[in-house]
Amino acid sequence: MWPGISFVPVRMEALMERARADGLVFLVLGNLLFLLISFSIEIPSGHAHGLLLQDFKAIYYSTRCLLERHDPYSATDVEKVYLTESGADLTDHVVAGQLQGVIYTVYFPTTFLLVAPFALLAWNTAHVAWMIVTAVALALASFAAWHMSTQGAPLYSGVLLALVMTGAFSVLWVGNAAGLVVALSVIAAACFLEKRWIAVGVVCLAIALMLKPHNAWLVWLYFMLAGGPGRRYAIRSSMLAGVCFIASAAWVWSFAPHWAAELRANLQTASGPLGRDNPGPAALGTHTAGMIVDLRTVFSLVRDAPAFYSTASALLGVGLITAWIWMVCKTPRTRTAAYLALAAAAPLTLLPNYHRTYDTYLLLLCVPAAALLWRHGGATRWISAVLNAAAIVLTSPFVLTLLVNYADRLHPDLSTCAGRLLILLLERPIPLLLLGLAALYLWALAREVRIARGFETAA
C-alpha cells in the first residue's frame, strides 16, 4: 500500500464536512436577511390604507365577509365589509387603485376554511400572524431543500438557497398565499422522499392543494405517478383536501348558492382588459415587481388576443408536461430521478397558466437537482448554474424593479419588432428562463431514462 492512500477517504470526508458547514452558514445568513428585510417595515403600516399585504387583505376580508354571513364572492358585499372595518377612503388614489384586488375573490372555498382562524382576529394581529406563519414555513422549506442537497453539493446549494431567501421578502410584503403554498409543497416533498414525518407531509400537501392547487398539483402528481409509498401519501393528501373542500363548499353555499358562477366571473374580471391579472403587453400585471411570469406574457407580444396567447401557452405547457409524465413513468425510482423530476415540475407548474413572481419560489425544488448536476461536472454543470442563478436573481424584487423602471424610461414602441424584443428581454425574461430550466431538467430526466433502458438491455 502506498503511504497516505488510507488517508484519502478521511480527507474527502473532512472536505465534505467543511462544505456542509459553509453551506449551512450561507443558508442561515440568507434566512436572517430574509427575516430582517421582511420585518424591517413598521408592522402597523400593513394596514388597509397601504399597498402592503394587499393579497392577504383579499382573503382576509372575503373570509370576514363569510363569517358575517355574507357572500364572499360578491364584490359588493366584500367591499362593504372592507370599507367598514378598515376605514379606507376611496378618495385616496392608492386605496382606489388596489380595490379591485381586494374585493374580487379568486380563491376556492377551502381558502376561507384555512384563513378563518386569522379572520377571527383583528387586522393588526391577523396580518402579523400571517407574516410569521409564512416566514417560518419558508425558512423551514429552505432548510428542507438544503438537507436534500447535502449529498450533492452542500456549499453550492447553500449559496443558491441564500439567494432565493434574500429576495423572498416580497411574498411577505404582499401577503400572497403563494409563500405558504410553496413552502408546504417543498416540505411535503422532503417528508415523502426522506420517509420521515409522513403525517406532517400529508397535511402540508393537503393545505397547499386547498390554497393554490395550480401551484402544488405537479408535486402531488409526481408522487402519484412514482408509485410506492409516495402514492399512498399523495392519495391521503388528496382525500384530506377533498373532505375539506366538501365541507367548505357547503359552508359557502349556505350564503352564496351561486358561488361557482361568481368565482368564474371574478376570474374573468381580474384577467380582463382592465384587470390586474391581464398578461397583455401594456397591462399593469406585467409592469411591476410582482409581474405575471407565465408564457402568456411572451405570446401576447406576438398577438395581443386572449384566445391566441392563452391557447398557445396551454398547448406548449401541456406538451412539456406530457413529456414529463412519460419520463416520470419510465425512470427508475431513485433519489436522483426524484430530484430531477421535481426540479422539472417546478418551472412546468409556472409556465402554462397564471402565475406571478411570488409563485417562482417553487424553484426551491430545483436546488437538490442543481446540486447533483453541479457535482457531476461537465458542461451541464455550468449550464445549470447559469440558468438557476439567472432565474433566482431576476425574480428578486430589487432586480425586477430596476429592469421595469429602465424599460419604462425607454418608452419602447410595441408596434415594432424591436420594441417588443426590448420588452421581452427587459420585462419578461423570467418565462424564457423558466422554459430553459424546464428543458434542462427534462433533458437530464431523459438521460436517466436512457441509462435505465441501457441497464435493462444489458441485463
For the stretch 56-74, pLDDT in tens is 999 999 999 999 999 999 9
Q: Which residue has the higher pLDDT, 105 or 49?
A: 105
Is 72 among the domain residues?
no
d(CA 401, CA 198): 40
Asked whether the predicted pLDDT for residue 99 surpasses 60, the reply is: yes
Tally of domains in the chain: 1
The tens digit of pLDDT for each residue in 24-38 reads 899 999 999 998 888
Is 104 among the domain residues?
no
| Residue-level length of the chain | 459
Q: What is the pLDDT of residue 95?
A: 60
Q: Which residue has the higher pLDDT, 153 or 341?
A: 341
The tens digit of pLDDT for each residue in 373-412 reads 988 877 888 999 999 999 888 888 777 777 777 766 777 6
Check the CA dihedral 396-108-341-433 and report its sign. negative
The tens digit of pLDDT for each residue in 148-158 reads 987 778 889 99
Is 320 among the domain residues?
yes
**What's the CA angle centered on 50, arms 49 and 52, to 5 degrees?**
135
d(CA 443, CA 449): 10
The mean pLDDT value of the chain amounts to 85
d(CA 188, CA 203): 8
Is 128 among the domain residues?
no
Query: Scanning the structure block, which residue is given the C-alpha cell 363569517?
Result: 67
- What's the whole-number mean pLDDT along residues 103-113? 91
The one-letter code for the residue type at 311 is: T
Is 350 among the domain residues?
yes
Cell reading at 7: 488517508
The tens digit of pLDDT for each residue in 405-441 reads 776 677 766 677 777 777 777 778 889 999 999 999 9
Per-residue pLDDT band for 91 (boundaries 50, 70, 90) equals: low
d(CA 121, CA 118): 5
Q: Which residues contact 317 (CB under 8 A, 6 or more apart)?
A: 295, 348, 351, 352, 353
Q: Which residues contact 370 (CB under 8 A, 6 or more apart)?
A: 149, 156, 157, 160, 343, 384, 385, 388
Per-residue pLDDT band for 453 (boundaries 50, 70, 90) equals: low
Q: What is the pLDDT of residue 4?
A: 45
Asked whether the predicted pLDDT for residue 264 surpasses 80, the reply is: yes
Domain extent at residue 425? 273-459
Is 188 among the domain residues?
no
Asked whether the predicted pLDDT for residue 343 surpasses 70, the reply is: yes
Is 444 among the domain residues?
yes
d(CA 81, CA 78): 5
Per-residue pLDDT band for 120 (boundaries 50, 70, 90) equals: very high
Is 44 among the domain residues?
no
Q: Would you call 382 helix, strand, or coil by DSSP?
A: helix
Phi, psi of 351 (to 5 degrees): -80, -45
Q: Would you call 356 helix, strand, or coil by DSSP?
A: strand
Q: Would you call 443 helix, strand, or coil by DSSP?
A: helix
- What's the whole-number mean pLDDT along residues 132-144? 94
